[in-house]
Structure 1
Amino acid sequence: MSVVTEGRTLTAKGAATRARIVAVAARLVYENGVAGTSLEQVRDAAGISNSQLYHYFDDKQALVRAVIRHNTEAVLGADDASVTRLDSFVALEAWRDAVVANQRRQHGVGGCPLGSLVGELADVDDSARRELDESFRRWSDAIAVGLTSMRERGLLRADADPARLALAVLASLQGGLVLTQTRHSPEPLEVALDGAIALIRSHAT
């Protein structure tokens, strides 16, 4: 059985190998950054040869784009209820609590798997910037689904704009994560998300 992955026809085994390479690269990039991760490091960590690596990826840029897509799916997987079902104030508060608790467990280390790539890539790799922009748009749209449901069910006023409110939530999340990473404390994230939820509550019926 063959699988078409980003324009390449691969066997099922080949698709599994490619996915393993991307997962290894994503871990190394998360730990060391894009600049601090070489193709040689990915090759060695994945236990593959140069020819195998270049069979799946033309260059480092192609691998980085694959990492962005991998991280996007990790954050926005179709079954991730914490992202796709923010359709009540109870759900929003529970999501906020879960995100803050996760950062508390990590002591504010690591940041967002997508947001951490922006500073390195947005101004130097336009194809990666476009990939990241699409990922964040998809994330914002997922949040807006729940807020739209709240408006339709009368929990939010008819003049509430789910798209703008969702963007405010996402911007608060990303900004809060950056400050949490610099302080190694979840307090900035907690404050930022409280502000975003307060904004949504200001549109309640």
Structure 2
Amino acid sequence: MCTAARPSASVRGMSGDRTGRHAEDAHRLAVTASIDLVRDRPLGEITLPEVAAASGVPEPKLRQVFADEEALIEAVVRAQVDTVLTGQKALLDGVRSLADLRAWRDKLVEDNQVTGGVGGCPIGSLIGELAGRHDRGHRALVAGFAAWEGLLAGAFRRIQERGELDSRVDPGTIATAVMGALQGGFLLARTTRDPGQLATVLDVSLEHLRVAPAGTSLPRAHSLSTKDD
């Protein structure tokens, strides 16, 4: 009697590896196609059948990788967040002085000018769309902003250690304020199609980052950022 030979452990492992790679490829293709689709429409409106058609990945395969549209939305948000954080980490990890911070500002403004202001922030543009409607994607977005603020806070802390930022201010609080200004600037630039709006908002926000003269009190805007409050 003939019986089918049972695959060896190594063969079974290779088969599992191929399956894993196929799933990773399907995931990558679907996320890339989704990012292209949301350039012209809200992320929450895309469907798995549309993504299947755009990515070339069969819909049954997509449904093995993503349980539903919510899982796909979360994956797209995470991919967008990772892209932004990778770029920002490369810039902000090198910030040691106010001059370095100015270079960071210049890079943001320069990139925004390339798109005429309409590009906006890839993750900031998702805030209103996800909040209260897509919990998993929203949580991924919140985590992304927290990580970005952490990078900013680290930069402000190094500037503070250098003596170029008042020792009484809290780097984390300043990071939150600058992030708010940055996202507001992106929104204004996108709405008006004027990249100069982002430059203006950042300039006003960063203008107050300086050492207060000895014996003087902090400006009112800084009083909310003191460690002693």
TM-score bracket for this pair, using the shorter chain length: 0.7 to 0.9
Give the AA of the match of 2:79.
H
Change (3 A) 1:83 1:12: farther
Where does residue 162 of structure 1 map in the other structure? 171
C-alpha separation between the residues in 2 aligned to 1:56 and 1:204?
59
Change (3 A) 1:24 1:84: farther
Where does residue 46 of structure 2 map in the other structure? 37
Where does residue 56 of structure 2 map in the other structure? 47
C-alpha separation between the residues in 2 aligned to 1:189 and 1:155?
24
Where does residue 74 of structure 2 map in the other structure? 65
C-alpha separation between the residues in 2 aligned to 1:86 and 1:100?
17
Where does residue 110 of structure 1 map in the other structure? 119
Pick the aligned partner of 1:195 from 200, 204, 217.
204
Where does residue 75 of structure 1 map in the other structure? 84
Is contact 1:30–1:113 with CA below 8 Å preserved after alignment? no
Larger radius of gyration: 2
**Higher mean Cα deviation, 80-89 or 169-178?**
80-89
1:133-168 deviations in Å (ceiling 9; x for gaps):
111111100111111111122222221211011111
TM-score, with structure 1 as normaliser: 0.87
**Higher mean Cα deviation, 175-184 or 101-110?**
101-110
C-alpha separation between the residues in 1 aligned to 2:21 and 2:164?
47
Change (3 A) 1:111 1:203: farther
TM-score, with structure 2 as normaliser: 0.79
Is contact 1:155–1:204 with CA below 8 Å preserved after alignment? no
**Mapping for residues 8-19 of structure 1, pairs under 5 Å:** 11-19=20-28
Is contact 1:160–1:203 with CA below 8 Å preserved after alignment? no
1:100-146 deviations in Å (ceiling 9; x for gaps):
11111101113111011111110222332222111111110011111
- Deviating beyond 3 angstroms after TM superposition, the runs of 4 or more aligned structure 1 residues are 202-205
Secondary structure of residue in 2 paired with 1:32: coil
Change (3 A) 1:17 1:115: same
1:83 positional shift? 3.4
Is contact 2:88–2:148 with CA below 8 Å preserved after alignment? no
1:180 aligns with 2:193: no
Name the count of aligned residue pairs. 198
C-alpha separation between the residues in 1 aligned to 2:130 and 2:43?
8
Residue segments in structure 2 that go unaligned for 5+ positions in a row: 1-12, 215-229
